[in-house]
Amino acid sequence: MGEKVKVKSLEKEELKRDLKNRHLQMISIGGAIGTGLFYGASSAIKAAGPAIILTYVFAGIAIYFIMRALGELAVAEPVSGSYVSYANRYISRYLGFMLGWSKPVIVVAVSAAELNALGKYVHFWFPQFPIWASALIIVIILFTVNTIGVKVYGEAEFWLSFIKVTAIAFMVIFGILMIFFGVGNHGQPVGFGNIVNNGGFFPNGIQGILVSVSMAAFAYGGVEDLGLAAGEVEDADKSIPKAINAVFWRILIFYVGAIVVLVILFPWSTMGSSGSPFVEVFSRIGIPAAASVINFVVIIAAVSTLNASIFVNSRVIYNLALQKNAPAFLGKVNNTKVPQVAVMFIFCMMLVGVVINYLLPEQAFTIFSSIVVFSITTCWAVILISHLKFRRIKIMNNEVHTIKYLAPFYPYGDYLGLVFLVIVIGCMTLRSTMRVSFIVAGTYAIIAYIAYKFYTKKEST
């Protein structure tokens, strides 16, 4: 037998494995459900019409292969850096450096977008309350939650995600009752007329479908962060496969199911013209103060997204320090085994998001949302390429039998996922609001390369 192919050693982490299986199960679905489904789904439906269902299903299939690839990696190598660690280990140190240090930029982007949205939802009840003030209060609360201990974070995220998922489940159930039994529609079943009327199933043709592809990708963004919890979950060999296996079906039921119900219930051309379609469903079913109920749920969705952002991105920064791709002090943990310095660093980045909301409250959401999409596609590509190399090394070393959780259809599932990502990036060029992300991404890659060269040169002297 020839000499085995060697790879870089895994980082030795000091984090406490205090996340339970139920935490991971809910985090896996909750990470993908932000404010976008409750208010942003209307834009995607208007772009493609009823054909948006096919877009979400196709995207869901690609996500299935991405998540199974991540699952194989995470079970074999359960570290908090997840895909950033895998990039450093299987692709190149520069890519790990670039992807890892993109996280503070993404924190600013996500916090600017979600805090802006959150502030506007608070305006529903308190129209005079400044957006930046709402943002600052929430950021301070979440910083405290994330500093106490990972179990506190897991419990908080479990219940925040539970509220989101419950709201969607009720909407889907109520929608089905309206479609088949006419509940909330004077006893007249809504039926399936809205799918074929108003221009048919493909009212905007292939152009509409292509425009909606990037929206579908953004909708699934966050599922990959399940891997970032791998370094702190107990019994990773069992918990991670359960969460990975569940996430595809739960997203199919809760996310795609919600989109299907909305498309059947309402004419696609009028979707969102009178506010959130979720509000209309709850109003028709007879729930008092439906708008306030959904407004509360959307605020919870934003808080959940921000809570997860602090957790996962602080772990990336912590892992970067262990890779020696960041200053060593960022890898320090407190007495509860929380990477407190990294959490503080991410907290400071969120404060930048608060400042942006103060200076540019109207422009923040559109600009930063487009940047987040490009980052998401990069993370997914890294997962797939890392998995291809990981499995290839196992095959060369005759160690496939040691893999505890095998992703199916290797390597074709990875190739399908990569083709989907190329399509997403191509479709982003069709939307003017998305084109700014190419400029930002290109600029960042150049700056990161210069910083990487400077950092590694300084390290060697």
Tokens of 169: 């489940």
Q: Is residue 213 scored above 60 in pLDDT?
A: yes
Query: Which comes out higher in pLDDT, residue 375 or 387?
Result: 387
Residue 9 lies in a domain: no
Residue 78 lies in a domain: yes
pLDDT at res. 215: 78
Tokens of 26: 């809910």
d(C-alpha 303, C-alpha 146), whole Å: 13
pLDDT at res. 368: 63
Q: Is residue 100 scored above 80 in pLDDT?
A: yes
Average confidence score pLDDT of the chain: 85
What mean pLDDT comes out for the span 421-441? 83
What mean pLDDT comes out for the span 36-50? 78
Residue 397: which residues within 8 A CB-CB, separation 6 or more?
A: 4, 5
CB 315 within 8 A of CB 231: yes
pLDDT at res. 30: 65
Q: Is residue 420 scored above 90 in pLDDT?
A: yes
CATH of the domain at 28: 1.20.1740.10
Q: By residue range, what is the domain housing residue 310? A: 21-453
What mean pLDDT comes out for the span 332-348? 91
Number of domains in the chain: 1
Q: Is residue 65 scored above 90 in pLDDT?
A: yes
pLDDT at res. 355: 81
What mean pLDDT comes out for the span 429-450? 83
**pTM of full prediction above 0.75:** yes
pLDDT at res. 460: 63
Residue 232 lies in a domain: yes
Residue 11 lies in a domain: no
pLDDT at res. 410: 94
> What would the pLDDT profile of 168-206 be if each residue is shown by its tens digit?
888 889 899 999 999 888 888 989 988 888 888 899 888
pLDDT at res. 461: 60
CB 217 within 8 A of CB 377: yes
Q: Which residues pair with 233 in a beta bridge?
A: 19
Residue 26 lies in a domain: yes
Q: What is the largest CA-CA distance in the chain?
A: 78
Residue 12 lies in a domain: no
Alpha-helical runs (H) found in 123-149: 131-148
Residue 2 lies in a domain: no
**What single DSSP character describes residue 450?**
H
Residue 329 lies in a domain: yes
pLDDT at res. 3: 65
Query: Which comes out higher in pLDDT, residue 273 or 213?
Result: 213
d(C-alpha 101, C-alpha 86), whole Å: 15
Q: Is residue 41 scored above 80 in pLDDT?
A: no
What mean pLDDT comes out for the span 351-375? 68
Q: Is residue 407 scored above 90 in pLDDT?
A: yes
For residue 19, the SS3 value is strand
Cβ atoms within 10 Å of 179's Cβ, excluding its own: 19
Burial 126-153 (b: 16+ CB within 10 A, else e): eeeeebbebbbebbeebbebbbebbebb
Query: Which comes out higher in pLDDT, residue 380 or 429?
Result: 380
How confident is residue 336, by pLDDT bands cut at 50, 70 and 90? confident
For residue 237, the SS3 value is helix
Cα–Cα distances (Å) from 417 to 67, 83, 251, 384, 413, in that order, read 10, 15, 17, 7, 6
Proportion of the chain above pLDDT 70, given as a percent: 90
How confident is residue 47, by pLDDT bands cut at 50, 70 and 90? confident
Q: Is residue 259 scored above 80 in pLDDT?
A: yes
Helix axes 41-48, 52-76, angle to 10 degrees: 130
CB 346 within 8 A of CB 147: no
